[in-house]
Every structure is written in structure tokens, then in C-alpha cells.
Structure 1
Amino acid sequence: MKILIRWVTIVAVTGLVVTVGAVGVALVGNSFAFDERQVEIPVAAGSLSGVLTTPTSGEAHGVVVMVHGDGPVDATQNGLYDPFFEGAAASGYATLSWSKPGVGRSDGDWLTQSLPDRAAEVSAAIDWAKAQPDVPTSTIVLWGASQAGWVLPAVVADRNDIDGVVAVGTAINWLRQGQFNLQAELDHAGADAKQRARAQAASTNTHALLERGASYEEYLGETTETNPMTRERWGFAQRNFRADATNDLARAATRHIPWLLLAGEHDRNVDVHETAEVYLEIFGGDVKVTWVDAVHSMARPIVDDSEFIGVVTGVFWPRLLLADCVIDSYRGLLDQVADSH
């Protein structure tokens, strides 16, 4: 049983004296039904620091391998993966997840990776898991979010031991995803025509610089973006901006394994309507699309829009961060895979 200790700032007001202190709070809402241990996964660049979660009772009959989205994500996404760990454990699965290269104790630097590098990393982690006597790999399910949409199909297509896939807010085309996100954020912010024109011009210019292979110095000298990329991020974008999942999805479809697409109805990061259309066209009956009243992260819109509500929910009842039916749908795919074996 994992019990999270949430550190909460308590403000006590007595007369005109304000006292601020941090206290550890262990609550029922923060207890999760899975066991967890640390693991080290050897890779070409050194090792990746990860966690293996398992059911609190009984043996697991399979393992879920987590594939992160963009950014410096640690093995548990700062605890936000716990409901998924618990859901997998309840369905009799272990879960393997690791901090991205350069995050925590993991060696390397995720910003130096290409998307094929990320797929190779996932494959290496699976090979490591299969060599461990205490990791149940007779059934393997991939779980991937957002940027993992360009990683999951490549792994499935290149292996014959993946039994199911859960895709969470995944995209199809890097550039179209960027344009969708730009317009969605402008809409959300209520941008006027001048702001929209400025943002679109900056985006078009950045695309042109990427296409011509501009140096970072050229990019800095020419960009009109409000928050320019760092040198490392520019390199990451140069390596990956041509990504399109279509061909790998078609290759993966020949495996005829079940896929679940969790699509947030309020997703401003990814055009999940495009993703759903492409997945249905390519996978046909092998994919189930579940529409969720959620944002990109599968969180309820209210906790995404209000920092206060999000913090309070995360501290006192983190299960409620995720929208209704997310974990039930996830477990449905896991149970389907288990029943087919």
C-alpha cells in the first residue's frame, strides 16, 4: 500500500499575526493500493532510474510499460501516475516506468533524443524487463501519452511481444499538432486579431527556420516568439519536427492487437479528433476510442482551469484529478488483453 505524504502550507491567522508552517498530511485519499520498488534499467547511455509497481496481493500476470509525453518527466509524474498504477494493479498488472534521461538519477539528456531514440529506449526497457525473473512479462501492454504517439506505433511495429496499447491524447503529425495547439491556446485566451496575427507570423517563421536547418544563433536573431526556445530545445525540435505517425501506425496495425485511445474533449494540446479519425481508419475494429470530459492530461477541466482547486484536489483526494471513466476505461483494455491470453 502506497501512502503519499503531502506537504501542505498551513496559514494560521491570530489577530494580526500570521504563522506559516509546512505539515505532512497522510490521508485516506492519498493511499493507493499497489506496492512499489525502485529499479535501475541499463541502457546505452548508462542507466535509467525507474519504479516497478505491483499488486498488493496475488501475483501479477502482465506488465504495463509507461511511455511519457514531452518534458522532463520523472517515473511517477510527481505522483500523477498513481491512479494508473493502482488501476493496473487492480487488474493484476505490474507497471514499469522510469525517469526520462537527465531527470532525477537517470543518465543522459532527453533533449538530445530523436523519436526513434525514444522508441529504442522503450524497447531496451522491455528487453531488460523480460530478463528479470520477478517482472511478469508474459503479457505486455504499452501506455503512452501525448508525444508518445510517435513512439508507441514504432515499438509495436518492430516487436512481436506487445499485446495491447493505451494511447492518451496522442498526436499524428508534429507540425499540425503545433498549429492546433497554437490556435486552441489563442482561442482559450480570447486573443484579438492582432495577437493572432503576431503569433501566427512567429510560428510560420519558426517553421521556415526549422526547414532550412538554421543554427540556434540564426533562430535567436530572427524569431519573434515571446518566449524563445533554449538551445537544447531548438536542437530537439530540429531532430523531430518532421515526425508523422501514419506509416508506423499502418505497420503496427498488422499486429492486430487491441488499442484504446483516450481522447479529452477539452484537449488544447492535440487535435484528438484527427487522431481518432486516423486510428479508426487504420486500426478499424482493433481500436476503441473513448471520449472523456477532460483536458490533455485526462484531468477534469475544473482542476486544470483553477490552480487553487487543482492543488487542493491533488493534496487531499488525488484520484479526483482524473476525469470520470479514465481509469475504468484503462482497466477495460487491460482486462480485455488478459482475457485473450
Structure 2
Amino acid sequence: MRRAIVRVLVVVAVLVTALTVATVVGNDFRLTTAEVSIPGPQGTLAGVVAQPDEGGARGLVVMIHGDGPVEATQDGLYMPWFEAAADAGFATLSWSKPGVGGSQGSWLEQSMADRAAEVGAVLDWARTQPDLPAGPVVLWAASQGGWVFPRVVADRPEVSAVVAVGTAVDWRRQGRFHLLAGLADRDADAAQTARAVAESDRVLALLERAAPYDEYARETHDPMPADRWGFVLRNFRADATPELRAVAERGVRVHLMVGSRDRNVDVAETERVYRAALGDLLSVATFDAPHSLARPVVEDVAAVGVLTAVVRPRALLAPGVLDDYREWLRDVG
């Protein structure tokens, strides 16, 4: 009995040691990071700068997050993106959204114009920092960031290029696409789909007439919180199409990275609208991935996602994503 217990303890010790070694090796990124404080429109923003290990970055990537309370590194999930940029000779600047982590303010009180003004404030700060490169500036914009980056490009001549990751075009069409895709994933029948679409139409009508939260909550089966309702009221008319024309007028290149399994955004529509507005300024890379560009199994099986994030975070993203990003940045002059 005692020998059996000893054998079990030895096996456990070996597994723990292997996991520890794998975690250390898997998280040994080729970069250095530093925390920074950035003055923003709502107060101080808590940020992070990731630099190539050997220094000498030739350009700067500025991260524009998607929806939700995103922290500067997205709790470490951005680290592979930071590393790929560092390999291409770029530093990366990211910050926690207002009200997240150490950042002051509230992201739920922002419009897309407010978010663009925030990026502008960050760019102003970056120009005063001697440790940041003075070369090309690339905006990295994910999902909801698709309604932010065109405004920034239109106003900021220092922006050289954009990487757009799963970005949408029209808020209302994106919402309907997401609803129908979710219903299809749940194998909803015709009656369930009809009820969900009818409620979505009621909510849109309430938004169109700026209904107060109390009225919305009474007429909705599963209402969102009041602060989220205010956020949606400020932004539901967002449409990137007009600002994309300004991007084209400036001649700024846009690299669109999308997942063929995206159920949040109609990426086919995004590519079509971007192509019409940008023409040859647009390049597109499509991956076998969902909205986040993660490996499908990472999103489908929670345990796999958690284990991968701990042991081998670079493998969270679908094959080819980081290589494509790295090589595209290398071509930015």
C-alpha cells in the first residue's frame, strides 16, 4: 500500500514539474514589457508597452480593443500578438479600457467618437515618449474597433497602416447577423427564431426613439443592464462606411484578418464593403477560426482553452495567424 502511494506521489510530482517547465517555456516571450500611465479624456489610462528584446523598434502598433471590459494585455492573451509585432521590429502600445484595471473613467459611457478621441490622446502622448519609436504607426483594431479606426485614420496623418481583426461595418446589421448565427448554432426551430427576431425588432424600435431604460426593461424578456443600454443607445447607428472613404483618400493600407467560422460578424460583408471603399489598399487573410481567430477547439472546449492559455499561449490562435501578422508588419515601411 505504501509503495503504491509513493508511486502515485512520484507521478504527481513529475506531472507538476513537467507542467511548471512547460508553463515557463511557453510563456517566455521574446519581448520586454513596461507599465505606463497615459493621460486620457476621462482620466489616467493604465497601459503597457511591449518592446523587442534587443530594442531598436522601428515602428509602433497601437491596439484598439473590441467590445467589453478589456484589460491592456487581455489578461495575457495579447502576448502572442505583442511578440509577433516585436519579431517584425515593432513596439506595441495597449491600455486598459476606462474603468478597467487601473484606468479611470467608464468605457460604457463612450461613443465610438469618444473611443477615437481616446486613441488620439494616446497618440499625442506617444509622440512625447523618447523610448517609443518615431517610425510608422500601425493601428491594430479588433471587432468593435472597426468603428473606431477609420475615424482615427481620418484625423491622424501619422497613421501608416491598419490591421483589422474581425471588424464589422454596420452596428444594426452586425447585431442581426449575430442573433441569427447564434440561433442556428442552437438549432432553433422556426417558431423560436421568429420570436427572437420579433423581440430584436422591438428593441431596435425602442432604440430608434431613444426609449428610457425602464420602458425597455418592461418590454424585453431578458433586458441588458441600464449602463449597457445607454452604451447601445449612443452607438447603435454606427456605420464605418463613410469613414472608410476617408481612409481610402489618405491612401492608408488595411489588412483584414478574419475567421471563416465567425458567428459574431458577417466577415463576408466586411470584406465586400472594405473592398468597395479601399480597392487595392485592402489585403485579406482568412483563417479556419472563429471571431477571436483562436483555434476552434480552444473556444469549443473550455478546458482546452484554459490549459492552452497556461501552458502554450502562442497555440491559442489558429495556425497561420501570427505568421501572417508578423510578415505583414515586416512589409510596412
Shorter-chain TM range is over 0.9
Structure 2 partner of 1:64: 61
In 2, Cα distance between equivalents of 1:24 and 1:149: 39
Unaligned runs of 5+ in 1: 1-11, 15-22
Deviation at 1:194, TM superposition (A): 2.1
Counterpart position of 1:230:
225
> Which one of the candidate residues 290, 302, 309 is aligned to 2:304?
309
Select the residue among 199, 202, 211 that pairs with 1:202: 199
Give the length in aligned residue pairs.
318
Shift in Å, 1:58: 3.4
Between the two proteins, what is the percent identity of the paired residues? 54
Residue 24 of structure 1 deviates from its aligned partner by: 10
1:277 counterpart letter in structure 2: R
Q: How far has the Cα of 1:276 moved from its partner?
A: 0.4
Higher strand content, 1 or 2: 1
Which residues of 2 match residues 170-319 of structure 1 at below 5 A? 170-224=167-221, 227-319=222-314
Q: 2:85 aligns with which of 62, 84, 88?
A: 88
Q: Quick check: 1:87–1:331 contact (8 Å CA) kept in 2?
A: yes
Correspondence for 2:319: 324
User: C-alpha distance in 2, partners of 1:269/1:69?
Assistant: 12
Match of 1:9 in 2: none
- 1:133 paired residue among 130, 138, 158: 130
- Matched residues in 1 for 2:231 and 2:60: separation? 30
Aligned equivalent of 1:157: 154
Taking structure 2 as the reference length, what is the TM-score of the superposition?
Answer: 0.92
1:45, 1:242 → 2: CA distance?
23
Aligned equivalents of 1:178, 1:230: Cα separation in 2: 17
Partner secondary structure for residue 97 of structure 1: strand
Q: Residue 165 of structure 1: SS of its match in structure 2?
A: strand
- Matches of 1:137 and 1:278, distance apart in 2: 32
What CA RMSD, in Å, does the superposition of the two structures yield over aligned residues?
1.7
Deviation for aligned residue 1:66: 0.1
Out of 87, 101, 104, the residue aligned to residue 104 of structure 1 is: 101
Deviation (angstroms), 1:26: 3.6
Q: CA deviation at 1:309?
A: 1.4
CA contact (8 A) 2:260 2:288 kept: yes
Alignment partner of 1:74 is 2:77: no
Q: Distance in 2 between matches of 1:259 and 1:141?
A: 10
**What is the TM-score when the length of structure 1 is the normalising length?**
0.90
Partners of 1:155 and 1:216 lie apart in 2 by: 31
Q: Report the Cα distance in structure 1 between the residues aligned to 2:117 and 2:53, rounded to whole angstroms.
A: 31
Query: 8 Å contact 1:49–1:106 — kept in the other structure?
Result: yes
- The answer on whether the counterparts of 2:35 and 2:46 sit within 8 Å (CA) in structure 1 is yes
Instruction: Tell me if the contact between 2:23 and 2:310 (Cα under 8 Å) persists in the aligned partners.
Output: no
- Residue 166 of structure 1 and its aligned partner are, at CA, apart by 0.1
Which stretch shows the higher mean deviation, 80-89 or 323-332? 323-332
Deviations 1:222-246 (A, max 9, x none): 112xx31100000000000000000
SS at match of 1:262: strand
More helix by share: 2
The secondary structure found in structure 2 opposite 1:163 is strand
Equivalent AA in structure 1 for residue 47 of structure 2 = G
Deviations 1:33-74 (A, max 9, x none): 110000000023211000000000131011100000000000
Question: Offset at 1:25?
Answer: 7.4
Matched with 1:37 is 34
